Amino acid sequence: MARTKLRKLQQVKELSNVFHHETENVETDILNYFNNDKEITFEIGCGHGEYTVNLAYHFPGRNYLGIDVKGSRLFKGADHADKAGIDNVAFLISRAEKLHVLFKSLKTSEIIIPFPDPHVKRRSAKHRLVSPEFLARYKYFLTPGGRIHLKTDDEMLYNYALETIEKLSLRLHINKSNLYGDEDELMIKKVRTRYEEHFLQEGRIIKYVCFGLH
């Protein structure tokens, strides 16, 4: 298993659509890779990258940047996008905590956080991707009027997100305690993550919150 991860990590570094946070001028490299004026969606915690690639395929009018700390995970999605010629998607190997330092000119109007680790212990609350600490970092690169989309099957994280939004007096756009509980045509429903498909088969309820910081 360790050898497989090392091999994938080496292979992923050779792909032109994968970038590393330690690279000098990484945000310029990403912008040059896209080389267009389309808006960019950030997916934070993209895992293997299949969801990022599917979003890029279904919505070619935007660029998509999948971000994950583990480069070996990204290989599957990045390799698929590269071979399929899906050029409105790229990947960044980085911790989410570093993004506000990395991005000076690279901005986004949309952040997607799909099924993140809920960090259930109270002492780990600051590590939740919708904690006040993370939201303060997102302000550096989320454009005015931009939106954050959270999908989760975790009741605690869902409630925590709503409490945080209220506490910080943020703008709540959409709140769905059961995303698939009605027949509306929200764009967020049109593409599902691998976890989402699995959770729905198990009968779990998917929650969705869309909100803004400005």
Of 61, 76, 106, which closes a domain? 106
Residue 111 lies inside a defined structural domain of this protein: no
Q: 134 lies in which domain range?
A: 117-214
Q: What is the CATH number of the domain that holds 186?
A: 3.40.50.150
Residue 24 lies inside a defined structural domain of this protein: yes
| 98-150 per-position pLDDT tens digit | 999 999 899 999 999 999 999 999 889 999 999 999 999 999 999 999 999 99
Mark whether 99 and 134 lie in a shared domain: no
Mark whether 12 and 51 lie in a shared domain: yes
Mean pLDDT of 192-198: 93
Mark whether 128 and 189 lie in a shared domain: yes
Residue 57 lies inside a defined structural domain of this protein: yes
What's residue 7's pLDDT? 64
Mark whether 99 and 143 lie in a shared domain: no
| 63-97 per-position pLDDT tens digit | 999 999 988 889 899 999 999 999 999 999 999 99
Q: Of the listed 37, 68, 79, 117, which one is catalytic? A: 117
Residue 112 lies inside a defined structural domain of this protein: no
pLDDT above 60 for 160: yes
Angstrom distance (rounded) from CA 28 to CA 25: 5
Q: Which pairs from 32-37 meet CB under 8 Å and 24+ separation?
A: 33/90, 34/63, 34/88, 34/90, 36/63
Angstrom distance (rounded) from CA 204 to CA 198: 9
Cα 48 from chain centre: 11
Q: Do residues 17 and 81 make contact, with C-beta atoms less than 8 angstroms apart?
A: yes
| 166-192 per-position pLDDT tens digit | 999 999 999 999 999 999 999 999 999
Residue 117 falls in the annotated catalytic set: yes
Mark whether 156 and 72 lie in a shared domain: no
pTM: 0.93
Q: Do residues 120 and 84 make contact, with C-beta atoms less than 8 angstroms apart?
A: no
Cα 211 from chain centre: 15
Mark whether 95 and 178 lie in a shared domain: no
pLDDT above 70 for 1: no
For the chain, how many structural domains are there in total?
Answer: 2
